[in-house]
Amino acid sequence: MPAVSGTTVSGIRPDLTESYNNPFSGIFHKIRKSSFGIVMLLSTGPAMAGSYTSYNGGSGIDTPIAVSGITKWATTIADYSPAPGLGPNFRNPASGGAFSLGDLYSTTTPPTAGTEPNAFHAGSGAANFHPYGGDVNDTTDTYGFIGIDAPGSVTFYYETGIYNGAGADLAVRENGFASGPAPGFFAELAFVEVSSNGTDFARFPSISLNTTRVSTAGTFQMYDMTNVYNLAGKHASNLATPFDLEELATHSLVLGGTVNLANIKYVRLVDVVGNPESSGTAGALDSLGNRILDNWTTYDSGGFDISIVGGLPQAVGVLHAVPEPSTALLLCSAILPLMLRARRDRKA
């Protein structure tokens, strides 16, 4: 049963795995209609300024949507499954402010005394750039990491559905911010997935071409978002990153009829477990197989954040909403007499 708007329903956590079937054909379609070339898209080497929009927007293949212009939001939470280690102040969607998808840090096997993180963010100094020096893939060490295979996620439900229209169909916002020299941006990224039935999800193909950070401030790493595409959280908090359902037209779940792009009911955000380039530890990968550079490891509120506005979550903006049945009926009742009149006129 769908959740009530603004509430959380527990008990379901779909498998975070999903399948691909030529994930870039939809992106190629968009690029053919844009002024950007395909060379940058396929490049896996070092990247300077990229082909995509920066954190503060601009014109391009992923021009962001102003949050102030979004009138519909998916506010019903069907599932909220933060990663272990998330601080108690950031794991309650009803608490106000914001809630997070969290850190992959075990609360049952904490770090050795004296090496645990401070009240905010872990690690300091070039010698310990990667906090603790622990291995996130080793569940038996003393540092409390549980691996990269259990990222936090949140699933939003939109009752009438989202349909594949012209251009972007939904937009996702986060609370990242610029810091240090341009184009440095502190981002906490997330994959975006959609579903019609709440069980089978198709993930948007993503691109991350960053190979180094722009700057560092303490334990915050700033990256160039012009090298990032189709990852939520790449734009500043007053902007929302657009997602076009057309890019999923050749996904196996869409071709098989399981995911209906004319009736998307669920949008799932899965935290990107990214690593600083100096950590030597594999993190999340984009659809090209590139390692996604993202802030890791943080403490307490780490991971993709969802803002609470007016008591409701404001993360997934709906740009193409399927009309409610009453609205569709009113449209039909208004159009039908015109069609009948036109038919009589033709006979006359």
Tens of pLDDT, residue by residue over 49-70, are 789 999 999 888 999 999 999 9
pTM: 0.78
* Residue bearing tokens 């691996």: 147
Peptide bond into 216 cis (omega under 30): no
Closest by alpha carbon to 86, among 102, 97, 107, 99?
Answer: 102
Please give the structure tokens belonging to residue 308.
């609470």
**How many CA atoms lie within 13 Å of 206's alpha carbon, on the beta-carbon side?**
28
3-state secondary structure the chain: CCCCCCCECCCCCCCCCCCCCCCCHHHHHHHHCCCCCCHHHHCCCCCCCCCCCECCECCCCCCCEEHHHCCCECCEEEEEECCCCECHHHCCCCCCCEEECCCCECCCCCCCCCCCCCCCCCCCCHHHCCHHHCCCCCCCCCCCECCCCCCCEEEEEEEEEECCCCCCCEEECCCCEECCCCCEEECCCEEEEEECCCCCCEECCCEECCCCCCEEECCEEEEEHHHEECCECCCCCCEEEEECHHHHCCCHHHHCCCCCCCCEEEEEEEECCCCCCCCCCCCCECCCCCECCCCCCCCECCCCEEEEECCEEECEEECCECCCHHHHHHHHHHHHHHHHHHHHHHHC
Mean pLDDT, residues 167-187: 94
Per-residue pLDDT band at 170 (split at 50, 70, 90): very high
Mean pLDDT, residues 57-84: 93
Backbone angles phi and psi of 192, in degrees to 5: -120, 130
Lowest mean per-residue pLDDT among 34-48, 55-69, 133-147, 260-274: 34-48
Segment 278-299, tens digit of pLDDT: 555 557 889 998 889 887 665 5
- Distance separating alpha carbons of residues 76 and 267, to the nearest angstrom: 10
* Better-scored residue on pLDDT, 220 or 169: 169
> What is the pLDDT of the chain when averaged over all its residues?
76
Domain extents in the chain: 25-323
Asked if the model's pLDDT at residue 157 lies above 60, the reply is: yes
Segment 248-285, tens digit of pLDDT: 999 999 999 999 999 999 999 999 987 665 555 557 88
CA distance to 2, 55, 210, 250, 274, per residue, from 239 (Å):
28, 8, 21, 28, 22
Mean pLDDT, residues 219-232: 92
**Amino acid identity at 326:** S
Contacts of 316 (CB under 8 A, 6+ apart): 73, 74, 156, 158, 170, 171, 172, 267, 269
